[in-house]
Amino acid sequence: MAQPKIRMGIAAPPMPPMSNIRQLLWATRLLRLDSFLVWDHLQGLFPRFLWRKDVTWTAGQSPESHAFFDYQTVLGALARQAGAVRLGVAVTEPVRRQPVVIAQAMLTLAHLTKRAPILGIGAGERENIEPYGLDFSQPVGRLEEALQVVRLCLDGQTHGPLNFEGRHFRLENAEMGLRAPKGRQPTIWVGGLGPRMLRLTGRYGDGWFPLGTLTPEQYGRKLAVVLEAAREAGRDPTAILPALQPYLIVAPTEREARAMLDTKIVRFMGLLAPAEAWRAAGRAHPFGEGFRGIVDFVPERHSRDEIEAAIARVPLELADTSGLLWGTPQQVTAKLRQYGDAGMRYVVPQPVSAMISRRAAFDSLRALRTIAHALAG
């Protein structure tokens, strides 16, 4: 039986200086990866003390873990040098940005690039919303309405003013005449893992784009929910691209990769796994049984002592039970093929190992080339 072909992109935080982001895009082209996506953040995942102590070198000229460029401006600046690489966001949400504005940005990007942009969108993360005085209640209901509005704007089926009446968004004879060039219609990739989010993906998404900790078995079960929701909505389930954003620890040898699992940075990333993943490893999450992982984490709400104590409790076995991919390029490829057997066809790794040292960053890039070539068949 032939192994499915899996395409690969890369995602990066749009942090100063801009020259680093441009270099990473050029590396994406040289590695012949399919896409280059940037995050949409106001602040980062790492508390200041941890960033300055352990990963400051990755920030180039910026010693601040919470310094982020606006993703829309960055993508516009990168458009001319993208070549055949797809550009996009991984991911934005409709709390800070009104959905018509999100659609307008993607349609504009479609006019600036050679390929269709990727609109990664989800319900949002607490760290980018609550500290800025915005409402994080009913995020999935807000996303559902936003997806309907974005679809109205992108599909172009309605010629003339748009009208929409929802609890969170309202359009009244709203003009939106911008259209994408032929063959460059932006695609909507929905990031989410909960039952309601999976059904929304099937009804409105062009792709499913979950982040982080999923085993291949869990991936396959959740993908089945997405595809069934598409069928129920009268859509072609084969038109939905099953993607994944896994956390990645990769090194030239298994011994080096295993050693990285015990570094403070990687242990910290274990804190961003949901309480459900900790329970699978037979442990209780330091942030409580209801902690949903990266969605709920706000870095500066925790003291240094709290974070240090929590990091010390991260079990190494979490790496094997939560879907964290680690090993040599060949071992990681084999693990990704298990997700391919479960239905995945597109992967955007989050190479955590690149934050450990400069050498590890170069090793990670070389590994991505090896992995991408193998997955492409």
Fold (topology level) of 7-253+324-375: TIM Barrel (3.20.20)
Asked if pLDDT for residue 252 goes beyond 90, the answer is: yes
DSSP 36: E
CB 38 within 8 A of CB 21: yes
Structure tokens belonging to residue 58: 């990755």
Quick count: other Cβ atoms within 10 Å of Cβ 303?
11
Q: Which of residues 319 and 183 earns the better pLDDT score?
A: 183
DSSP string, 202-241: HHH-SEE--BS---HHHHHHHHHHHHHHHHHTT--GGGSE
Q: Which pLDDT score, from 0 to 100, does residue 340 have?
A: 97
What is the residue extent of each domain of the chain? 7-253+324-375
Does the pLDDT of residue 26 top 80, yes or no? yes
Under a CB-based contact definition with an 8 Å cutoff, are residues 121 and 39 in contact?
no
pLDDT the model gives residue 321: 66
Other Cβ atoms closer than 10 A to 228: 14
pLDDT of 377 reads 83
pLDDT at 228: 98
pLDDT at 12: 93
Q: What is the pLDDT of residue 357?
A: 87
CA-nearest of 348, 345, 353 to 328 is 353
| Global pTM value | 0.95
**Mean pLDDT calculated for residue range 30-49:** 94
% of the chain beyond a pLDDT of 70: 95
pLDDT digits (tens, 9 = 90+) for 275-292: 988 998 899 999 999 999
- Determine the pLDDT at residue 52: 63
Q: Are the C-beta atoms of residues 300 and 306 closer than 8 Å to each other? A: no
Q: Is the pLDDT of residue 61 over 70?
A: no
Out of 28-37, 113-122, 311-320, which region has the weakest mean confidence (pLDDT)? 311-320
Residue-wise pLDDT tens digits, 203-224: 999 999 998 778 899 999 999 9
* Residue 175 exposed, middle or buried by CB count within 10 Å (0-12, 13-18, 19+): exposed
Above 90 in pLDDT, residue 323? no
Rounded distance between C-alpha atoms, residue 176 and residue 248, angstroms: 40
pLDDT at 181: 96
pLDDT band for position 166 (50/70/90)?
very high
Mean pLDDT of the chain: 93
Closest CA to 109 of 150, 155, 78: 78
How much is the average pLDDT of 323-346?
95
Residue 150 has pLDDT above 90, yes or no: yes
Burial of 107 (C-beta count, 10 Å sphere; 0-12/13-18/19+): buried
Q: Which of 325, 122, 314, 290 is nearest to 214 (CA)?
A: 325
- pLDDT given for residue 60 in this prediction: 47
pLDDT confidence of residue 265 = 87
* pLDDT value at residue 49: 84
Average pLDDT over residues 70-91: 98
Give the separation between CA 176 and CA 183, rounded to whole angstroms.
19
